Amino acid sequence: MEIKEVGIIGAGQMGNGIAHVFAVAGYDVRLTDISEEALERARGVIEKNLDRQVSRGKVSAEDRDAALGRLTMGTDLAPIGACDLVIESATENEAIKRKIFESLAPHLADKTILTSNTSSISITRLAAGTDRPERFMGFHFMNPVPVMKLVELIRGIATDAETYETLHGVVGKLGKSAASSEDYPAFIVNRILVPMINEAVYALYEGVGSVSSIDVSMKLGANHPMGPLELADFIGLDTCLAIMNVLHEGLADTKYRPCPLLVKYVEAGWHGRKSKRGFYDYRGDEPVPTR
């Protein structure tokens, strides 16, 4: 199947990045969100990131203008259903994702492929709530989407070969690489990455080291570009906790128990960079460790 028009649900950090890369790759893109403010923010972020790519010679000014011309935004979910490909990129909450697919169902064209950008939730379970489990897949982009080269492709138990091959081809047209994962909790990247972050939070919780010492140890000792606590703030502590809960519940193994300190930060509303406080305080000129 040829994909020409792509609908993206959710204009947050991931959604606007996904819209960006599809528009640059020549697809017509419809970006929707329940919030006009979120859509306005998304347009500003996309324009800023495109300008940065132009200044670095990665995108021409003409291609930037053409990409912006291919991007349509709105709060109405109905037009998304007519797209060849739909990518749900709402918050990491299964109930919310299910409700979105239920609301979209009356508007879907027969041809439409449904996907979710979930970072951990069962694709088989999400697909089972739709009228097309054979044309439903996990389509998991990495953050920040315009920079990161990987897309995880996750087949549910009912996903057919044509859907998989179509999306594998789309990944190539985006200039990215695909990794295929089985439909197990958190897939490949987050199955490995987020428990490492959780262990770093345990090291902080147990007094093994401070925020600064844990992060500098992993940057200089393991050559990681970001420390695990800095990375947790970048991802969002609420997202990290949601993924740990999926792992803990889905695999029934105590090694995936979320650290109580991670739970406490999320309960406080300290979700990282997006809320200006997490393991670092971002309200000043420079981030300051909070412990």
Looking at the structure, do residues 114 and 171 belong to the same domain, yes or no?
A: yes
List, in sequence order, every residue forming a beta bridge with 178; answer none if it has no partner. Answer: 151
DSSP string, 9-41: E--SHHHHHHHHHHHHTT-EEEEE-S-HHHHHH
156-196 pLDDT, tens digit each: 999 999 999 999 999 999 999 999 999 999 999 999 999 99
Distance CA 103, CA 152 (A): 26
pTM above 0.85, yes or no: yes
CATH number for the domain spanning 260: value is 1.10.1040.10
Computed from CA positions of residues 51, 56, 58, 62, in that sequence, does the dihedral angle turn out positive or negative?
positive
**CB-based burial label for 168 (10 Å; 0-12, 13-18, 19+):** middle
> Based on the domain organization, do 156 and 210 belong to the same domain?
no
Q: Per the structure block, which two tokens stand in for 208?
A: 């093994």
Report yes or no on 167 lying in a domain. yes
Q: Which residue among 152, 181, 198, 271 is the active-site one?
A: 152
Residues 97 and 198 in one domain: no
CA-based radius of gyration for the chain: 19
Q: What percent of the chain stands above pLDDT 90?
A: 98
Under DSSP, is residue 120 helix (H, G, I), strand (E, B) or coil? coil
- Does the active-site annotation cover 119? yes
pLDDT grade, residue 84 (50/70/90)?
A: very high
Domain extent, residue 209, equals 191-289
Q: Which of 89, 116, 190, 198 is catalytic?
A: 190
Count of domains observed in the chain: 2
Residue 186, domain member (yes or no): no
Question: What's the token pair of residue 150?
Answer: 């990987």
Helix (H, G, I), strand (E, B) or coil at 45: helix
Could you tell me what percent of the chain has a pLDDT over 70?
A: 100
Question: DSSP readout, 49-109?
Answer: HHHHHHHTTSS-HHHHHHHHHTEEEES-SGGGGGSSEEEE---S-HHHHHHHHHHHGGG--
**pLDDT at site 1:** 81
Q: Is 217 exposed, middle or buried (0-12, 13-18, 19+ CB in 10 A)?
A: middle
Question: pLDDT tens digit string along 38-54?
Answer: 999 999 999 999 999 99
Residue among 150, 151, 152, 159 nearest 125 (CA): 159
Q: What is the mean pLDDT of residues 227-253?
A: 96
On whether both 176 and 202 belong to a single domain, the answer is no
Considering the candidates 116, 119, 181, 198, report the single residue annotated as catalytic: 119
Query: Does the residue 165 lie in any domain?
Result: yes
Which residue in the list 49, 92, 140, 248 is annotated as catalytic? 140
Shared-domain flag, residues 133 and 254 = no
Verify that 200 and 164 share a domain, yes or no.
Answer: no
Q: What is the pLDDT of residues 91-147, one digit of tens each?
A: 889 999 999 999 999 999 999 999 999 999 999 999 999 999 999 999 999 999 999
Is 216 among the domain residues?
Answer: yes
DSSP 165: H
Upper half-sphere CA count for residue 146 (Cβ side, 13 Å): 20
The DSSP bridge partners found for residue 6 are 29, 85
Tracing tokens 């990247």 back to the chain, one arrives at 189
pLDDT, averaged across the chain: 96
